[in-house]
């Protein structure tokens, strides 16, 4: 079974963004992710290079085959906290990983942000982002009516163990 992780870039602990990332992981795989990284817990360690806590966090994510990178939409893009984490990932450090950009926002005006802003960084780091990113409204981020059509587009790109429809 492929290891799944949720990386949350919200500067608020235990945020709706984290809940949304966990919801997506459960809907995608039918189980809890094997790794949950709420970046706010290690934030100060991301500010410098070579910090062992940051390095361990990056290595833990690299050991997963599927990663959901979740961020709130701040000023039309993903957070600086997520950027600090991604800056710690070496060139091609996400090679062999399926990455799923997920962003939460207050309005649909930023619905392209996961694909326009977050996905290119993940691809630059070597991840495969084979399907459209997911933008969720913060008022309705656990809606089956929204996520189920997205899941049907993503599942064909996942390992065969995830091809059946899970709830």
pLDDT (tens digit, 9 = 90+) per residue, 110-162? Answer: 999 999 999 999 999 999 999 999 999 999 999 899 899 999 999 998 888 77
Question: What Cα–Cα distance (Å) separates residue 24 from each residue in 75, 78, 89?
Answer: 23, 18, 23
Q: How many domains does the chain have?
A: 1
Neighbours of 26 (CB within 10 A): 16
Stated pTM of the model: 0.94
Is 82 among the domain residues?
A: yes
Is 27 among the domain residues?
A: yes
Q: What is the pLDDT of residue 84?
A: 98
CATH code of 49's domain: 3.40.50.360
Is 17 among the domain residues?
A: yes
What's the rounded mean pLDDT across residues 16-45? Answer: 97
Tokens representing 54? Answer: 């940051």
Structural domain range at position 79: 4-162
Provide the pLDDT confidence category of residue 163 given band limits of 50, 70 and 90: low
Provide the pLDDT confidence category of residue 1 given band limits of 50, 70 and 90: low
Is 60 among the domain residues?
A: yes
Tokens representing 103? Answer: 């962003």
Is 145 among the domain residues?
A: yes
Is 167 among the domain residues?
A: no
- What is d(CA 25, CA 43) in angstroms, rounded to the nearest whole number? 23
Is 47 among the domain residues?
A: yes
pLDDT tens across 45-96, in order?
999 999 999 999 999 999 999 999 999 998 899 999 999 999 999 999 999 9
């Amino acid at each position: 079974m492929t290891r799944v992780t949720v990386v949350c870039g919200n500067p608020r602990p235990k945020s709706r963004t984290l809940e949304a990332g966990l919801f997506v992981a459960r809907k995608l795989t039918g189980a809890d992710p094997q790794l949950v990284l709420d970046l706010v817990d290690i934030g100060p360690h991301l500010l410098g290079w070579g910090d062992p806590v940051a390095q361990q966090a990056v290595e833990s994510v690299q050991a997963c085959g599927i990663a959901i990178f979740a961020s709130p939409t701040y000023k039309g893009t993903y957070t600086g906290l997520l950027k600090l984490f991604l800056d710690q990932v070496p060139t091609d450090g996400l090679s062999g990983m399926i990455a799923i950009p997920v962003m939460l926002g207050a309005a649909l005006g930023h619905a392209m942000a996961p694909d326009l802003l977050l996905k290119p960084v993940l691809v630059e780091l070597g991840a495969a982002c084979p399907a459209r990113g997911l933008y969720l409204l913060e008022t309705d981020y656990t809606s089956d009516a929204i996520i189920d059509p997205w899941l049907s587009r993503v599942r064909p790109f996942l390992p065969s163990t995830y091809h059946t429809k899970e709830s």
